[in-house]
Amino acid sequence: MLTEVTATRYVTPLREGGSLPGIVEADDLGTYVMKFIGAGQGRKTLVAEVVCGQLARRLGLRVPELVGMRLDPVIGLAEPDQEVQELLKASGGLNLGMDYLPGSLGFDPLAFEVGSGEAGRVVWFDALINNVDRSWRNPNLLVWHGQLWLIDHGATMIWHHSWRGARAAAAKPYDASDHALAPFAPDVAAAAAELAPRITEELLTEVAADVPDEWLADEPGFDSPDAVRRAYVEVLLERAATIGDRITVGAPTQETPSRAPEWLTAWPHRKAVK
């Protein structure tokens, strides 16, 4: 299970995200980016963050440490911003905290070069979880101490919004032509060979166990939180076996022109700015 801390002070909102996450201090003296259960996307966003974030970490990808954050709605009474105050009041109980990386920078392709091996691992992982939110428009990548970090996995595993079609979703391909790392010649074949065998039932069961019961309770069609966890395991296990063969990353052609701006498609042909 996730380590739990208690929020002690709301510092400031991060208005780049649609769910209005905020920087929050906790009783362990840590500083976190907090995602709220009272935000519009609700608890499934937090479930996706935990399942995908913890799985990425187990596969050796860099994701900030995740914790459960207890929030007393009384914290919201001191907030002058009405939108923030209402969000805090609606988010009493257990929320999600992501370790704040001080001094980190948003991924800039003109300033940071990514090797084809690392790019391939990220693309393969995003294909596994069907991440639709790692495009060149919104990379959801940070650079911290010279290394690439993955953030914001709330818009993944779209199938968990409609479990009836989840098994069919496991067989769907992944179009990575707009992926933020596509221009770095991601070696998807090598990534699949390395990572797919590591996606075992045991590993996925351990990852799903980190999701708190209260975020899975009363899910329509399931009689217990463990049954919901099992559904995540089954879909991801099935998808991992073959997704490497169903990823489209190819260079743009006349028939399938790139939707990215011209300067972006030229990334691999320039040297990184040091």
pLDDT on residue 270 = 37
Query: Reduced to 3 states, what is the DSSP secondary structure of residue 97?
Result: strand
Whether 186 and 204 map to the same domain: the answer is yes
Whether 255 and 243 map to the same domain: the answer is yes
pLDDT on residue 1 = 82
For residue 9, the one-letter residue type is R
pLDDT on residue 267 = 46
Which residue ranges in the chain fall short of pLDDT 70? 16-18, 250-274
Asked if the structure places residue 240 within a domain, the reply is yes
- For 208-217, b/e burial (b = at least 16 CB within 10 A) is bebbbeebbe
Asked if the structure places residue 251 within a domain, the reply is yes
pLDDT on residue 140 = 96
CA 19/CA 256 separation, integer angstroms: 33
Whether 110 and 78 map to the same domain: the answer is no
Asked if the structure places residue 197 within a domain, the reply is yes
pLDDT on residue 118 = 98
Handedness of CA 248, 109, 156, 124 (dihedral sign): positive
Contacts of 84 (CB under 8 A, 6+ apart): 10, 13, 20, 22, 76
Asked if the structure places residue 272 within a domain, the reply is no
Listing DSSP states for 158-199 in one string gives GGGGSGGGHHHHTT--EE-TTBTTGGG---HHHHHHHHGGG-
CB 53 within 8 A of CB 63: yes
Range of the domain at 79: 4-103
CA 23/CA 154 separation, integer angstroms: 17
Asked if the structure places residue 44 within a domain, the reply is yes
Asked if the structure places residue 271 within a domain, the reply is no
CA 117/CA 123 separation, integer angstroms: 10
Query: Reduced to 3 states, what is the DSSP secondary structure of residue 202?
Result: helix
- pTM for the model stands at 0.90
Helix (H) or strand (E) run with residue 148 in it: strand 147-150
Whether 43 and 161 map to the same domain: the answer is no
* Tally of CB atoms within 10 A around 113: 16
Whether 31 and 97 map to the same domain: the answer is yes
Contacts of 233 (CB under 8 A, 6+ apart): 201, 204, 205, 208
Whether 251 and 126 map to the same domain: the answer is yes
Asked if the structure places residue 58 within a domain, the reply is yes
Q: Using one digit for the tens of pLDDT, what is the confidence trace for 183-195?
A: 999 999 999 999 9
Q: Which among 74, 75, 73, 69 has a CA at the least distance from the CA of 92?
A: 73
